């Protein structure tokens, strides 16, 4: 496990009473609170427009123009992120806090090789030489299941499949061994088989690095497979929160019950252990 740079044994992330509003006063996130610890995987689930991705963008300091934090706190170890200026993010974003998003091709430069982009990320965050960055980049690609890493390193993003691109983006995201990784709909565009492989990969990395993982999805089957705890969001509110098995097998809120009923056909129970499942 990497050295704890920021948290001093406490939570990695504490979000408390977070509210996000547009310039005209429309509130889109309404008093959201949760905590994430080292080694924990928290799932945030909800339909489109529920506020889950906006919450994560607030944590990353990348809210869309016209949207702002109006109250509440986002603490990353000793840092209060809501008070950050753009320059304050440089030591944290990409190194201590990182993210993986849906559609990895849109986050990679199509005119640069995979190796160039991975090496530049390593040089920027860790100050590596070109030679050291290439060596480490190839190690990361192999570690993330890209067996012909030398070939992938020389290729351009448009030459790779969606699953391979997502692995490349994950390699960039974890290259500096972050304490917090946010995966926002990171498997949505992938087919079921590749989706499962990427989720297994994220779980392995989370265990290996001891990082805190926030996994955002509209799909209960995804969070059932990967998450220790779940929060369910609707219309900017958290309507239910708790351990994965409790939320999925004994939902208390009508909206959560509806989500569970709608996903029964996907067999979410198979992702729970015998001790957790009511079956």
Domain spans in the chain, listed from the N-terminal domain onward: 102-175
Beta strands in 138-276 (DSSP E): 180-184, 212-217, 229-234, 237-243
Backbone φ, ψ for residue 2 (5° rounding)? -70, 160
Pick from 254, 190, 178, 242: nearest CA to 217: 190
pLDDT tens series, the chain, 279 aa = 333 444 456 899 999 999 999 999 999 999 999 999 998 999 999 988 999 999 999 999 999 999 999 999 999 989 999 999 989 998 898 889 999 888 777 888 999 999 999 999 888 888 889 999 999 999 889 888 888 899 999 999 999 888 888 888 888 888 888 999 999 887 776 777 777 778 888 888 888 888 899 999 888 888 888 898 999 999 999 999 999 989 988 999 999 998 888 776 555 555 554 344 433
- pLDDT for 8 equals 54
| DSSP conformation class of 204 | H
- pLDDT for 268 equals 55
- pLDDT for 9 equals 63
- pLDDT for 273 equals 47
**3 state SS of 101:** strand
Q: Using CA atoms, how far apart are residues 37 and 197, in angstroms rounded to an integer?
A: 24
Beta strands in the chain (DSSP E): 13-22, 27-36, 41-45, 67-76, 79-80, 97-101, 180-184, 212-217, 229-234, 237-243
- CB 199 within 8 Å of CB 225: yes
């Amino acid at each position: 496990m990497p050295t704890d740079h920021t948290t001093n044994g406490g939570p990695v992330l504490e979000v408390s009473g977070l509210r996000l509003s547009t310039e005209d006063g429309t509130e889109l996130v309404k008093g959201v609170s949760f905590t994430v610890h080292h080694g924990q995987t928290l799932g945030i689930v909800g339909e489109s427009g529920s506020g889950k991705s906006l919450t994560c963008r607030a944590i990353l300091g990348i809210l869309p123009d016209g949207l702002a934090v109006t109250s509440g706190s986002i603490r990353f170890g000793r840092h209060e992120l809501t008070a950050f200026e753009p320059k304050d993010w440089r030591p944290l974003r990409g190194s201590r806090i990182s993210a993986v998003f849906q559609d990895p091709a849109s986050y990679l430069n199509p005119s640069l090789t995979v190796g160039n982009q991975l090496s530049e990320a390593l040089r920027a965050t860790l100050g590596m030489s070109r030679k050291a960055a290439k060596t480490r980049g190839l190690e990361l690609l192999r570690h993330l299941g890209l067996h012909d890493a030398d070939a992938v390193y020389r290729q351009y993003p448009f030459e790779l499949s969606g699953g391979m691109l997502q692995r490349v983006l994950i390699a960039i995201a974890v290259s500096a061994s972050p304490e917090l990784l946010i995966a926002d709909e990171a498997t949505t565009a992938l087919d079921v088989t590749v989706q499962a492989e990427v989720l297994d990969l994220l779980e392995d990395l989370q265990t290996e690095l001891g990082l805190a993982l926030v996994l955002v999805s509209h799909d209960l089957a995804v969070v059932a497979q990967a998450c220790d705890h779940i929060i369910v969001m609707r219309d900017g509110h958290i309507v239910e929160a708790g351990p994965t098995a409790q939320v999925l097998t004994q939902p208390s809120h009508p909206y959560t019950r509806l989500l569970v009923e709608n996903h029964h056909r996907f067999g979410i129970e198979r992702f729970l252990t015998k001790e957790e499942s009511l079956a």
